[in-house]
């Protein structure tokens, strides 16, 4: 599993950050265009939780929060997958 991000010019002076989970050879499980760097980690955590629920990263993260309900934000462009 890999994560990839690129800075994209969206026109009209707007810049977004394209974030993808997966790779070019095997395809991307999830992708979104985010407006801020602060959105990247929560979005990746959501995508990993959805597409790789048994990954070491996801399981360790959930173990660290045993009594907390984990809520994930939606990407600013409405993309959730």
Alpha-carbon distance of 30 to 10, in angstroms, equals 20
Q: What is the reported pTM?
A: 0.67
pLDDT of residue 27: 86
One-character DSSP codes across 41-67: HHHHHHHHHHH-TTSHHHHHHHHT-TT
pLDDT single digits (tens) 31-61: 998 888 889 899 999 999 999 999 999 999 8
Q: Domain ranges in the chain?
A: 3-63
> Is there a contact between 75 and 39 (Cβ–Cβ < 8 Å)?
yes
């Amino acid at each position: 599993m890999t994560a990839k991000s690129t800075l994209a010019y969206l026109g009209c002076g707007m810049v977004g950050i394209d974030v993808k989970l997966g790779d070019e050879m095997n395809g991307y499980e999830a992708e979104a265009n985010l407006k801020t760097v602060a959105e990247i980690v929560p979005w990746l955590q959501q995508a990993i939780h959805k597409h790789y629920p048994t990954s070491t990263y996801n399981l360790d993260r959930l173990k660290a929060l045993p009594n907390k309900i984990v809520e994930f934000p939606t990407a600013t462009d409405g993309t959730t997958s």
